[in-house]
Amino acid sequence: MTGVEITFLPDNRTVRVPPGTTLLEAARLAGADLEAPCNGAGSCGKCRVQLLEDADQPHADELLHLSGSEIAEGVRLACRSRADGSATVQLPGAAASGHRILSEGLLPAFAIDPRIGKRYLELPPPSLADNCDDLSRLARALDGGLLAELPLAFLQELPGALRAGGYRVTVVTADRHPIGVEPGDTSARCYGVAVDIGTTTVVAALIDLNSGDELASASMINPQKGYGLDVLSRIQQLRAHPEALHTLSSLIREGIDQLIGELSASASVGRGEIYELAVAANATMTHLFLGVDPAGIGASPYLPAFTAGASVPAREVGLAIAPFGLVYCLPAVSGYIGADIVAGLLAAEMDQSAGIALLIDIGTNGEIVLGSAQGLHACSCAAGPALEGMNIGCGMRAAEGAIERVLIDGELTLGTIGDAPAVGICGSGIIDAVAELVKVGAIGRSGRLLRLNGKEAPLPWHARLRSDGSSRFVLSETGGVEIAVSQKDVRQVQLAKGAILSGMLSLTAQLGIGLEEIERVYIAGAFGHHVRKESLARLGVFPRECLDKVVLIGNSSKSGAIMTLLSREKRARAEAIARKVGYLELSCFPGYDRLFADCLSFAEGAW
């Protein structure tokens, strides 16, 4: 049989195609799920796949859409890559409601030893001569190993399970202790769900606890968004209206329950076959999910009610999984270094790293952790949402029509998501735009937009610099709709990058570590996936010497949650990490204000 064999992961769909077929066509033949809004024109950049063997040199179209690190990692556009030999191709996770939500994350190798287990038992049927009660009969088969305080659901399920299974039952255990019982031998079917509750997005993955495989993934915009886009505004809502705690809590619980329903349906796994959720989230989201008032986090001294990991019955948080199912919330370090960061450290294995590493999660609140197996220290900085495209005049989320690429090379070239007409600027777009404006001198080192005085040699982009009304640089004005980067936008970007950079430099200074000693920079989250390294360097979000050490670990919050679901050792490690990380309060760090001011500069030598 001629042709080459292409296997698409994670669904493991294989198809044989003639050599030279594009991976996009192969994916369609295989019935694999791959979005391609521009239908193979090479312009939208959405049909990203990762080649797990050698990848060819990238096509010119790919260079516009892919960052250097992505290219190095074998990421290509399926419409521009051709099957020359047999290949294994990793497809991206599903997106939700038109938004790009990052669901994939780096997952290190580890031994599977989940907290939840199963044990199949064949009990002798009762008689008048052997008439002990159901629970005692089960305890006898378990060598007396029953909890003193069994979950009520266990007792409620027991008699039905024994009768229905003809005294052959499967006992579900947590840390080897029985928590539930099912008729017959169900040991082959044992599932958990890992959840990343972000302030903006929620991602859930269905995990086979026997194999460790991720069977399905689902995501949604955090249903609390109507109560404020960031953590602080939601806390302020709560301070003004304490009764909103119930609403915020219900919203996220119902949202997660909906995701569980989607996962269950898409993988043909019953809700009752799901026994545990592992939830990683920032401290405020964890509080709201559990129905605990997070108001203390919102004002000095910024105290959460708890940081320890918590395990509660799923019923108590309104989730319909197995009736005796559990929910584990990963531990946090402090109010602003949440379980999502602990999960990231777990996924990056920074607590076991011989060399010094840095982990950064960039969002409205930026979190930075520096250290190694010798010790870990963290700080958080109020970066604002500018680097995510928020609080920007023409800012928008990464959705269709968002400008995500800007090149100024004589003339201006724009790339939009979905190759659609530009309707706004997303995070990677604003970073690219400001970096390119710095590159061509349209933004000075102090962050001031150039005002032409007519003496310059005229350049093609000069016409885009406007100062009627406000100073701005116009990216697009198709159909009379102006999409521009304003002086105010530049200041927002500048404050964000200043906050992150100064946080990082405070940590290194505090610990007496030189930037050159940092061996790895892990970037958690979506940030960096769609941004060119060169732009990051020019902007000064990171010192240039760190750029080559960057590893994008993606949704490491979800990865860490998966690890705690699958490994008791990793769960214990998460708890240890949370206790181990030292917290540096930047406002107490000597000389911080001066350092922050220095870090606002776009001149790379300034800091």
**Residue (of 310, 375, 376, 295) closest to 337 by Cα position:** 376
Nearest in space to 23 (alpha carbons), one of 34, 10, 12: 34
Task: Please provide the distance, in angstroms rounded to a whole number, between the alpha carbons at the two ends of the chain.
Answer: 62
Q: By C-alpha distance, which of 272, 276, 121 is closest to 187?
A: 121
| Residue placing its CB nearer to a copy of itself in the complex, 241 or 481 | 241
User: Nearest approach, Cβ of 159 to a copy of itself (angstroms)?
Assistant: 4
Give the binding site for a copy of itself (CB under 8 A). Answer: 126-128, 130-136, 148-150, 152, 155-156, 158-160, 163, 290-293, 295-296, 300-308, 310-313, 315-317, 334-335, 585, 587-588
Least distance (Å) between residue 131 CB and a copy of itself: 4
Backbone angles phi, psi at 189, to 5 degrees: -120, 105
Output the smallest distance, CB 155 to a copy of itself, in A.
5
249 and 238 Cβ atoms separated by less than 8 Å: no
Nearer to a copy of itself, 301 or 605 (CB): 301
> Closest Cα partner for 547 from 560, 559, 565, 533?
533
Q: How far is the CB of 54 from a copy of itself (least distance, A)?
A: 48
**Minimum distance between the CB of residue 210 and a copy of itself, rounded to whole angstroms?**
25
The distance of closest approach from Cβ of residue 162 to a copy of itself in the complex, given in angstroms and rounded to an integer, is 8
Minimum CB distance to a copy of itself smaller for 28 or for 568: 568
Q: Pick between residue 2 and residue 300 the one whose CB is nearest to a copy of itself.
A: 300
How many angstroms separate the CA atoms of 27 and 163, rounded?
A: 48
Residue placing its CB nearer to a copy of itself in the complex, 294 or 389: 294
Closer Cβ to a copy of itself, 26 or 333, answer by number: 333
Smallest gap from Cβ 272 to a copy of itself, in A, equals: 17
Helices 568-580, 339-348: inter-axial angle, 10-degree rounding: 120
Give the span between the Cα atoms of 510 and 274, in whole angstroms.
45
- What does the alpha-carbon distance between residue 499 and residue 329 come to, in Å, rounded to a whole number? 29
Least distance (Å) from a copy of itself to the CB of residue 510? 16
d(CA 429, CA 422): 11
Closer to a copy of itself by CB, 158 or 392: give it.
158
**What's the CA gap between 237 and 235, in Å, rounded?**
5
Which residue's CB is nearer to a copy of itself, number 317 or number 496?
Answer: 317
Tokens (6 digits) for 232: 């602080």
